[in-house]
Amino acid sequence: MAAIKPQHLTRELTALINNVAFASTNEPDSADLAHRLFIGQVLTNAAAPFIKAKDQLRKIYAVELSEPCDEFELLLTTDVTITAKVGAPRSTFDRDTFIKQLADRLDLSVIELTMISEQCTKESAAPVSMNAKVMHKGETE
């Protein structure tokens, strides 16, 4: 097999994926989605070790990526240029800090406020997990 150039990798992978043959079914719309789910899982699993490279690069270039800045060239190799942009830090709500400050300001019990806050929850939609695998007639797990 001939080597694939990095700049053609996406095109070659897409062509390869589009040529995967699945068995036909009497529900073509659902079958197409099932096949896409399967291919997505395959790609996600195959990509997992490569995606970790992003975290490793973040550690290596921690100093360069510590302050907000516009997009810049972080790393230039023969075939690949890595650019980075650092946005403003995100703010998150800290429930425990809020309860403590509210308790101090209104001279209330932290324990009571915590109990009240735990009663102020609502259920969200149930999480759904889907997995796909190719099974052939007569084949068992």
CA gap 114, 110 in Å, rounded: 6
pLDDT digits (tens, 9 = 90+) for 26-78: 777 787 888 888 888 888 888 888 888 889 999 999 999 999 999 999 988 88
Q: What are the two backbone dihedrals, phi and then psi, of residue 25, each rounded to the nearest 5 degrees?
A: -145, 165
The full set of domain ranges for the chain reads 28-89, 90-120
E strands within 35-123? 69-76, 81-86
pLDDT digits (tens, 9 = 90+) for 83-107: 999 999 889 999 999 999 999 999 8
Model pTM greater than 0.75? no
3 state SS of 61: coil
